[in-house]
């Protein structure tokens, strides 16, 4: 057995600590601004080392940087963009993925990149030629197929179709369509003029006809045809023989075109096999060239004379590792400077939040609203816990929750990263279902651990109201913390969504509770409202830049709007109780409908009704919870205008 040493235990303890710290990270990781100075010719090697580390987010220099006026990677980046686009087009045409990871780390020089770009250009021109040839063949095949379908209409005509086109010396032959209601009268009238009419095809309302007669009565015939709503038809010029022989020629022509198309497909396959290795190597070169090109594209690399500088952001915990990686990659002298972000840089610092796998689907929903600003509290944890809790409150049923658990368990391949979301919602629904004593809508099947919602609706509304008060206080507290972290101290303490607004809201809630429950509203209750309100008015008076009496009016209006906002947000949480009652009411409606039917109809109605509740109401509840999170929660503390941490990597950007 391997001997366990103190050093090994220490290493394992550090690993466990890093895992736990990553799982319970509530704010984006601390970042440092990195500035790397090196010789200009070492910039490509530095870019490769930065990309290999996977922890460096490039940051562009400010416009008009006088100390570093040159962009050494500009031409390299242009060549890379051209080669990348050509490789992408070639891959799309050949139907293959041409993004291969590099087998070994090596620099790609500008002449190598230029040669690769030229070669890809020639290959793409050949692909473009084959594409155009394939397009022409496809159009010809479609045209022949359409002619073959058109010929079906005239297949019953036992005549040379060429005779129905153009002028004949002695005969007037016409092909057209006429309403079936006029066909008999037209046949009689046309016979008087010495013409023969034959119907050979048509639809329910229209008949296709051929009429022929000796020339000389064309004017009389024309007036008869006009009265019968006759419409002439034009045969395709390719129809110059008997229909059977025309079809044979069309079939032979289509077969010949299809053979050409197959030969072209084989030529494309041969082209890929011929250049497969070269494309593989070219893709690897582009992957290795991408870091230096991306530094040029992001303007994070500037130079002056023989010196170059790269700047960007790196997580504080990764700076030492980056230093080691740079030393291993190239041995030439370099200087790596690191500093904490300045206060005015808060909006430009990228945010990197590492969360456990089960939290990922909730993080995606948070990012639909926005990315946390650097220094802000990441709301993923709060969002996950409150989302799960409110969904269970509004959709509490053991049977429906168990169904969601089964869907999450058996459908994990289809759900992918959203499996933890479905499983957690199912578990929450089961938990509240036991509290409500509800199984597929049956409330007497198991005894409730707390109470059935319809047994005391007023109590449910009170619980929802207090939940809303607690949620808003928590969201406002997080907002105060975020403003303090951003250095906005006055707003955090005296603003409407700061400490003053929070205390005033809490005072109004306390005063309303005392008045409703005990019929008391005295000086103490008034004081806990007026004191924070006076502080809020003073702050708003200072902030509002409006002259004269209008200043006081604006302060009063904004204060009233802020107060109404608090209580409108609070009342929104009554929907938590409303949907829990609605869930029971829908189940009762299903039971009532099923009770009017026989045995088979009863159980079919029960199954379909529960599916309806599970799918439709489940989706509505999820949307309503999401609305409460976004508009009553995030709007109080979450700016959502942060930048996602995008490290330089060994990959061809799309």
Q: Which candidate, 440, 457, 424, places its Cα nearest to that of 622?
A: 424
Strands 334-339 and 231-232: unpaired
Residues 511 and 560 in one domain: yes
CATH number of residue 49's parent domain? 3.30.70.120
Q: Which of 572, 589, 618 is the last residue of a domain?
A: 572
Local confidence band at 20 (pLDDT 50, 70, 90 cut-offs)? very low
pLDDT in tens, 361-398: 998 898 888 888 888 888 888 899 999 999 999 999 99
Residues 347 and 362 in one domain: no
Cα torsion 341, 344, 346, 347: sign: negative
If one counts the domains in the chain, the total is 4
Q: Which candidate, 50, 235, 74, places its Cα nearest to that of 157?
A: 235
CA distance 588 to 592: 6
Helix (H) or strand (E) holding 1: none
Local confidence band at 560 (pLDDT 50, 70, 90 cut-offs)? confident
CA distance 106 to 103: 9
- With respect to residue 418, please indicate whether it lies within any of the assigned structural domains: yes
- With respect to residue 91, please indicate whether it lies within any of the assigned structural domains: no
pLDDT in tens, 424-436: 999 999 999 999 9
Mean pLDDT of 205-226: 84
Residue pair 353/372 in contact by the 8 Å Cβ criterion: yes
CA distance 563 to 197: 88
- With respect to residue 535, please indicate whether it lies within any of the assigned structural domains: yes
pLDDT in tens, 81-107: 999 999 999 988 888 777 777 878 888
Cα torsion 235, 241, 242, 243: sign: negative
Distances (CA, A) of 545 to 440, 501, 536, 537, 548: 59, 21, 16, 14, 10
Q: Give the pLDDT confidence score for residue 127 in this predicted structure.
A: 92
Residues 550 and 626 in one domain: no
Q: Give the pLDDT confidence score for residue 1 in this predicted structure.
A: 35
Residues 478 and 564 in one domain: yes
Local confidence band at 594 (pLDDT 50, 70, 90 cut-offs)? confident
- With respect to residue 131, please indicate whether it lies within any of the assigned structural domains: no
CA distance 45 to 289: 10
pLDDT at residue 26 tops 70: no
pLDDT at residue 126 tops 90: yes
Q: Give the pLDDT confidence score for residue 157 in this predicted structure.
A: 83
Q: By residue range, what is the domain housing residue 222? A: 166-234
Q: Give the pLDDT confidence score for residue 573 in this predicted structure.
A: 92
pLDDT at residue 48 tops 80: yes
pLDDT at residue 19 tops 70: no
Instruction: Tell me how long the chain is.
Output: 654
Q: Give the pLDDT confidence score for residue 376 in this predicted structure.
A: 85
Mean pLDDT of 571-577: 91
CA distance 547 to 545: 7
Residues 526 and 599 in one domain: no
pLDDT at residue 21 tops 50: no
Model's pTM, two decimal places? 0.73
- With respect to residue 291, please indicate whether it lies within any of the assigned structural domains: no
Residues 565 and 586 in one domain: no
Residues 327 and 362 in one domain: no
Q: Give the pLDDT confidence score for residue 9 in this predicted structure.
A: 54
Residues 369 and 431 in one domain: yes
Q: Which of 214, 234, 254 is the last residue of a domain?
A: 234
Strand partners, 202: 207
pLDDT in tens, 333-365: 888 999 999 878 888 899 988 888 888 899 889
Which ranges constitute the DSSP H helices of 573-651?
Answer: 574-595, 599-612, 618-627, 635-637
CATH number of residue 199's parent domain? 3.30.70.2750
pLDDT at residue 329 tops 90: no
- With respect to residue 424, please indicate whether it lies within any of the assigned structural domains: yes
Residues 492 and 524 in one domain: yes
Q: Return contacts of 151-159, CB within 8 angstroms, 24+ apart.
A: 151/239, 151/243, 151/246, 151/247, 151/250, 153/201, 153/208, 154/200, 154/201, 154/235, 154/239, 154/243, 155/243, 155/244, 155/247, 156/200, 156/201, 157/200, 157/210, 157/243, 158/242, 159/210, 159/242
- With respect to residue 239, please indicate whether it lies within any of the assigned structural domains: no
Residues 510 and 555 in one domain: yes
- With respect to residue 182, please indicate whether it lies within any of the assigned structural domains: yes
In angstroms, how far is the first alpha carbon of the chain from the final one?
A: 50
In sequence order, what are the residues at sequence separation of 6 or more whose Cβ sits closer than 8 angstroms to the Cβ of residue 126? Answer: 271
pLDDT at residue 10 tops 60: no
CA distance 489 to 491: 5
């Amino acid at each position: 057995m391997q001997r366990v040493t103190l050093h090994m235990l220490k290493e394992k303890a550090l690993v466990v600590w890093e895992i736990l710290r990553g799982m319970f990270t509530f704010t984006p990781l601390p970042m440092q601004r990195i500035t790397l100075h090196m010789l200009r010719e070492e910039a490509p090697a530095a870019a490769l080392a930065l990309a290999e580390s996977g922890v460096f987010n490039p940051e562009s220099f400010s416009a008009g940087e006088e100390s570093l006026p040159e962009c050494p990677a500009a031409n390299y980046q242009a060549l890379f963009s051209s080669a990348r686009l050509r490789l992408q087009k070639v891959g799309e045409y050949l139907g293959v993925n041409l993004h291969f990871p590099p087998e070994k780390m090596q620099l790609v020089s500008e002449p190598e990149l230029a040669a690769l770009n030229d070669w890809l250009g020639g290959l793409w021109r050949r692909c473009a030629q084959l594409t155009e040839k394939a397009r022409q063949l496809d159009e010809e095949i479609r045209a022949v197929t359409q002619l073959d379908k058109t010929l079906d209409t005239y297949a019953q005509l036992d005549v040379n179709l060429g005779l129905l086109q153009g002028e004949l010396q002695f005969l007037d032959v016409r092909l057209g369509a006429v309403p079936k209601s006029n066909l008999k009268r037209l046949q009689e009238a046309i016979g008087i003029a010495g013409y023969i009419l034959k119907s050979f095809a048509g639809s329910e309302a229209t008949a296709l006809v051929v009429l022929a007669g000796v020339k000389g009565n064309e004017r009389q015939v024309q007036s008869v045809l006009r009265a019968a709503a006759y419409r002439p038809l034009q045969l395709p010029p390719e129809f110059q023989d008997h229909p059977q022989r025309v079809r044979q020629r069309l079939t032979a022509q289509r077969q010949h075109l299809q053979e050409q198309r197959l030969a072209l497909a084989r030529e494309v396959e041969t082209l890929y096999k011929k250049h497969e290795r070269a494309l593989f190597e070219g893709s690897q070169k582009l992957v290795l060239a991408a870091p230096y090109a991306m530094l040029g594209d992001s303007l994070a690399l500037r130079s002056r004379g023989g010196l170059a500088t790269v700047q960007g952001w790196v997580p504080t915990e990764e700076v030492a590792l980056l230093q080691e990686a740079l030393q291993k990659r190239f041995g030439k002298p370099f200087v790596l400077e690191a500093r904490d972000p300045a206060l005015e840089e808060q909006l430009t610092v990228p945010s990197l939040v590492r969360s456990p796998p089960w939290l990922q689907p909730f993080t995606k929903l948070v990012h639909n609203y926005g990315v946390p600003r650097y220094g802000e509290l990441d709301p993923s944890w709060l969002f996950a816990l409150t989302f799960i809790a409110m969904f269970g409150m509004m959709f509490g049923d053991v049977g429906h929750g168990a169904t969601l658990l089964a869907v999450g368990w058996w459908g994990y391949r289809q759900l992918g990263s959203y499996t933890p979301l479905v499983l957690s919602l199912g578990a929450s629904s089961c938990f509240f279902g036991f509290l409500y004593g509800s199984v597929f809508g049956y409330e007497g099947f198991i005894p409730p651990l707390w109470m059935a919602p319809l047994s005391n609706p007023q109590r449910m509304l009170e619980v929802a109201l207090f939940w809303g008060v607690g949620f808003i206080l928590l969201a406002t507290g997080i907002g105060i913390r975020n403003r303090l972290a951003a250095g906005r101290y006055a707003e955090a303490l005296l603003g409407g969504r700061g400490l003053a607004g929070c205390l005033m809201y809490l005072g109004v809630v306390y005063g309303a509770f005392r008045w409703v429950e005990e019929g008391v509203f005295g000086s103490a209750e008034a004081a806990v409202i007026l004191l924070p309100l006076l502080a809020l008015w003073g702050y708003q008076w200072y902030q509002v830049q409006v002259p004269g009496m209008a200043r006081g009016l604006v302060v009063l209006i904004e204060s009233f709007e802020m107060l109404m906002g608090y209580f409108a947000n609070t009342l929104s949480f009554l929907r938590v109780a409303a949907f829990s009652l609605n869930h029971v009411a829908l189940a009762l409606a299903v039971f009532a409908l099923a009770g009017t039917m026989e045995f088979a109809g009863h159980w079919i109605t029960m199954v379909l009704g529960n599916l309806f509740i599970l799918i439709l109401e489940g989706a509505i509840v999820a949307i309503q919870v999401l609305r409460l999170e976004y508009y009553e929660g995030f709007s109080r503390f979450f700016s959502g205008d942060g930048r996602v941490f995008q490290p330089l990597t060994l990959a061809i950007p799309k």
